[in-house]
Structure 1
């Protein structure tokens, strides 16, 4: 058995092994999106495919709770040197959109599988309807590129060239895909060597027992934190700006129940699966890692010394009704699940913010826009497709400091790509790249500032995809008197007579000389802005984080020639009315929820849950079309009755819909 000290020694070895894997992948990858942006993962897994080790310095932070068990079981007769792979979201719910190619390798010791190494890379393109394969406008999985169910890619150390030929024939930049996949294979081999070295150091049985002890320890840490929280039930909802061309919001809802050392996250009340690609393919797994990412962030905020592995998921149970946006059925499109996952994290943060108001921050931007360009290089006449840069937003105001500027907080693993590298590899010219003034939510602790970026293209018919565009209507929320943050935006040729505001449209065609400007959302503020020290506000103005006008209107600080006018500031602050309530959502959401009340959504949920899955999104859309001039549960019931009159084949709900008084 491992005592506490030896278990920590093993944990350090495990983390070092995972870090070595990550460095191997980053240093040998081909695409900028993997080697610079670092959209990849690597992990060490036990014999059942449960993750027991991940890196802390490199790569995405989504996957410490991932289990490959279902994927492993779908491939037979593993031999030393074999590597299996998949990118199909519906085969085993490991890959969650087609560009994410997952690989896993058995680690043999004395003829027996003792562990697995695994990970994923986000391929620049997997074919399909649009460059980079992802757009919210896509409506079914078949449009999102070629998919491979779990199968062997490497047989006893030799690549299956037929599989590679099929892949490279169907994707736009085959060299990048193959180069990144081979880099990941190198990382898995590195992990295999490190595991065998640990077995040699600790002994086979001690290593196997230690791996299970690491999982048990993470579980115990999570349960300790839950026991320290009050028992109770909390509810929270948030919205993605739109679910499709109909421009109806996509609502996510959670009811968080904490009892002792266990928690249930019931996502009933979230929207039906969508006709766009914002669906999240969880397969109904009650502990799917993609549903629990927000929980990892909460736990790590409360205890930065927790072990990140699958053990963290054990005290939590997620409920995701089949046919909803968080548990869609085939062939729903899922390519933009990362946008919905950002909102899912916001929903979980909002629920836990009510549980522990003194410990948690305001909402981060939740807007990690990733920009891809497909254009022609005028120097070589060759087509180029590349990720330009992630445009992420600010972190929410913290309990004792401002939110991080432009880091994305919950999307900070998406690293900045230096402009010089982007301009070298992609024929674009950057016009602007920096922080957006007045974009962070006002508060005792200010929300982090948004990122803004603008670049010019030179070739005709340059195609842009800017996936995960969101927060152009529903703001990141502030807490405890703090204000909601600034909104995101995307404009073609800003400031010119032919300027076009694109909102959340995530594809565009640019012509020679066109400029695309993108701004993320900021982070929400925390605490009453009037309690922020005037010298901090003056410093923000001097740094161009806050304008002098916003200093007065948002913070009640009057500046004269850059200096604080103490008397005028005191008088102005006395006259300002503070915001009451735990959350500040901004006028857009307040206006929306005056019509779409909680009772309205409860009625809508009851109607849709009683219909066959293939009728639900259609019915939701028809109800929304008829809500003009109506509000609340009664308005939803009336709109549904009109829809049934217009479409007699629309089934009656399985249960009677009762409209509660509002």
Structure 2
């Protein structure tokens, strides 16, 4: 195959994945999907190897390497027909990442032969379970996290299996919106099927298969070359996951996580032996999530321009003790393993690899979705009449700080690592739910000081308009702050509080929920991030600009950056002169 034809085919596969996600976002019912983009799409070859993906949610796409094969094998390849769609969200039977993320898998046929598979995955903002939003860590086992869907056929011959659709929808709190999300994911799969079929008809299915093989091999070669540039050696690190704030009798001890990385030649092995046992509460990681976090880190420290497909992962081997927090077994709960523990794994790996590739690592980051979740009956009669929905759930992922880099400051107000969904637009929140956003701002001094400053976190303040609702938050770094690299200072920890009738209640990052009422005020502030390098070496012009931008307070000049009182006064005067 000539290079031009190959590049057309390869690029068409990536364009297909992007178009599939757009089809989902344009037709979904949940704001977290159609506005926040918490959805992903990918194309797999006939052997269920990931060959192309969109610029979507890394934690969905990495675990899909495992869950797509698990879905097809559970149904049986020989049972599949054109127009079939497999649904699954089960982490134990289907290889998923957590139950709110529901995967649709569709075989693509041409002339009676499977030539590819396409996959869509979306975050359903309620799948039943213990609390509205299906997003609490205070769970005894996986059954409290919502309906478990093993790999089953949801569409047969492009017709929904109505009894199964009914069973799934009626186990959620807002079935009308779930139906729209379900149909949106189906639409994404149909778009993928059509595009792949068009490509195969135009160029031939043998050419398509050859291009897929070549794309996998090409990414593998580039990844092996990138790994050879990393010094051989053994690199180790340890950290601890903050426990769930549960009832009496639950452990309050942090759960250790450890890694030993062996880099040799063009291969790299990650051994998580020594990590703590799976814990009470939904902070455990299925093995698919640990693999995803590991693959993401390898990609981040090597070459981000390598086309992402399963070939990138061939040089990487991973082991984690069964029954540990990083390879949990049934029926351990997992909802925040995917969003909070997973990025902590990445920080652990960056800590270990800082000795090998100091220029490629960053200070520790906010490490979580920090999702604020409201759920209750809508008191707005006009909105209920217009939408036909009495129950309204609102889930809002939050943006914290990303750690400083070797040559740049960290990033303010951003989701990091494997989370790539956006915070909900204020206008959409206020239009669709009984919640008002009174403040959305960056918080000074939350990024750790350093030669390069850590990124600041953001803060949102909500005013509740529900008559009565649940408020749940799921976060990380409420106890231990995100540390800096190479002398950089730590960033700020998580903060959340509910104010009612003048009384303030502190809400832990991992714990129960609060019942809120009209007029209550909720503050949600994710963790900041760590700095990079000695703060005393920060360029004084940059520090002055931080003052002007409101990123650093006057008190931080002496407290965090070591300026003398005289130098601090002079800088304040200079900043004032600049406006």
1:509 to 501, 512, 515: 515
Distance 1:261-1:50 versus aligned 2 partners, 3 A rule: same
Query: Residue by residue, what CA displacement relative to the aligned partner does 1:306-363 show, whole Å, maximum 9, x if unpaired?
Result: 1111111111111111111111121111122221112112112222222201222222
How far apart are residue 64 of structure 1 and its match? 4.4
Correspondence for 2:64: 66
Q: Distance in 1 between matches of 2:274 and 2:418?
A: 26
Q: Distance in 2 between matches of 1:412 and 1:317?
A: 23
Q: Distance in 2 between matches of 1:171 and 1:409?
A: 29
Aligned pair 1:250/2:249, yes or no? no
Structure 2 contact 60–97 (Cα < 8 Å) conserved: no
Q: Distance in 2 between matches of 1:336 and 1:559?
A: 43
Q: Distance in 2 between matches of 1:424 and 1:562?
A: 44
Correspondence for 2:268: 263
- For 1:491-570, list aligned pairs within 5 A: 491-493=497-499, 497-504=502-509, 505=511, 507-557=513-563, 558-560=567-569, 563=572
Correspondence for 1:40: 39
How far apart are residue 298 of structure 1 and its match? 4.3
Structure 1 contact 375–384 (Cα < 8 Å) conserved: yes
Aligned pair 1:121/2:127, yes or no? no
- Structure 2 spans left out of the alignment, 5+ residues: none
Query: Residue by residue, what CA displacement relative to the aligned partner does 1:369-415 show, whole Å, maximum 9, x if unpaired?
Result: 11111133222276433334211211111122111101123256121
How far apart are residue 459 of structure 1 and its match? 3.0
How far apart are residue 65 of structure 1 and its match? 6.4
Q: Distance in 1 between matches of 2:10 and 2:300?
A: 16
Q: Distance in 2 between matches of 1:423 and 1:196?
A: 42
Structure 1 contact 431–456 (Cα < 8 Å) conserved: yes
Q: Distance in 1 between matches of 2:238 and 2:497?
A: 29
How far apart are residue 544 of structure 1 and its match? 1.1
**What SS does the aligned partner of 2:503 have?**
coil
Distance 1:289-1:473 versus aligned 2 partners, 3 A rule: closer
Distance 1:464-1:2 versus aligned 2 partners, 3 A rule: farther
- Structure 1 spans left out of the alignment, 5+ residues: 283-287, 567-662
Structure 1 contact 292–313 (Cα < 8 Å) conserved: no
How far apart are residue 551 of structure 1 and its match? 1.9
Correspondence for 1:582: none
How far apart are residue 87 of structure 1 and its match? 1.4
Correspondence for 1:369: 370
Structure 2 contact 82–157 (Cα < 8 Å) conserved: yes
2:393 to 378, 386, 389: 386
Aligned pair 1:83/2:82, yes or no? no
How far apart are residue 304 of structure 1 and its match? 2.3
Structure 1 contact 65–310 (Cα < 8 Å) conserved: no
- For 1:118-197, list aligned pairs within 5 A: 118-197=119-198
- For 1:278-427, list aligned pairs within 5 A: 278-282=283-287, 288=288, 290-338=290-338, 339-380=340-381, 383-410=390-417, 413-427=420-434
How far apart are residue 2 of structure 1 and its match? 5.5
Query: Residue by residue, what CA displacement relative to the aligned partner does 1:418-448 show, whole Å, maximum 9, x if unpaired?
Result: 2111101011111211111100011111111
How far apart are residue 258 of structure 1 and its match? 0.6
Structure 1 contact 100–122 (Cα < 8 Å) conserved: yes
Aligned pair 1:441/2:445, yes or no? no
Correspondence for 2:20: 21
**What SS does the aligned partner of 1:209 have?**
helix
Correspondence for 1:647: none
**What SS does the aligned partner of 1:499 have?**
strand
Q: Distance in 1 between matches of 2:134 and 2:343?
A: 19
Distance 1:230-1:481 versus aligned 2 partners, 3 A rule: same
Correspondence for 2:213: 212
Correspondence for 2:463: 456
Correspondence for 1:627: none
Q: Which moved more, 1:370-379 or 1:14-23?
A: 370-379
**RMSD of the TM alignment (CA)?**
2.0
Q: Which moved more, 1:497-506 or 1:428-437?
A: 497-506
Number of equivalences: 556
Q: Distance in 1 between matches of 2:57 and 2:571?
A: 42
Q: Distance in 1 between matches of 2:83 and 2:411?
A: 44
Q: Distance in 2 between matches of 1:219 and 1:523?
A: 33
Q: Distance in 2 between matches of 1:178 and 1:249?
A: 40
Q: Distance in 1 between matches of 2:370 and 2:223?
A: 31
Structure 1 contact 395–522 (Cα < 8 Å) conserved: yes
Structure 1 contact 131–385 (Cα < 8 Å) conserved: no
Structure 2 contact 459–525 (Cα < 8 Å) conserved: yes
Q: Distance in 1 between matches of 2:48 and 2:469?
A: 43
Structure 2 contact 133–395 (Cα < 8 Å) conserved: no
Correspondence for 1:573: none
Distance 1:147-1:2 versus aligned 2 partners, 3 A rule: farther
Correspondence for 1:489: 495
Q: Distance in 2 between matches of 1:513 and 1:561?
A: 45
Q: Distance in 2 between matches of 1:479 and 1:253?
A: 18
How far apart are residue 158 of structure 1 and its match? 0.4
Distance 1:351-1:62 versus aligned 2 partners, 3 A rule: farther
Correspondence for 1:466: 473
Distance 1:414-1:85 versus aligned 2 partners, 3 A rule: same
**What SS does the aligned partner of 1:66 have?**
helix
Aligned pair 1:277/2:282, yes or no? yes
Q: Distance in 1 between matches of 2:245 and 2:497?
A: 20
Q: Distance in 1 between matches of 2:423 and 2:143?
A: 31
**What SS does the aligned partner of 2:354 have?**
helix
How far apart are residue 521 of structure 1 and its match? 0.8
Correspondence for 2:7: 8
Distance 1:220-1:62 versus aligned 2 partners, 3 A rule: farther
- For 1:95-106, list aligned pairs within 5 A: 95-106=96-107
Structure 2 contact 216–310 (Cα < 8 Å) conserved: yes
Q: Distance in 1 between matches of 2:239 and 2:400?
A: 17
Q: Distance in 1 between matches of 2:419 and 2:104?
A: 24
Aligned pair 1:52/2:59, yes or no? no
Q: TM-score, normalised by structure 1?
A: 0.81
**What SS does the aligned partner of 1:409 have?**
coil
Q: Which moved more, 1:236-245 or 1:76-85?
A: 236-245
Query: Residue by residue, what CA displacement relative to the aligned partner does 1:206-254 show, whole Å, maximum 9, x if unpaired?
Result: 1101101111111112211111111111111222221452322122211
- For 1:638-657, list aligned pairs within 5 A: none
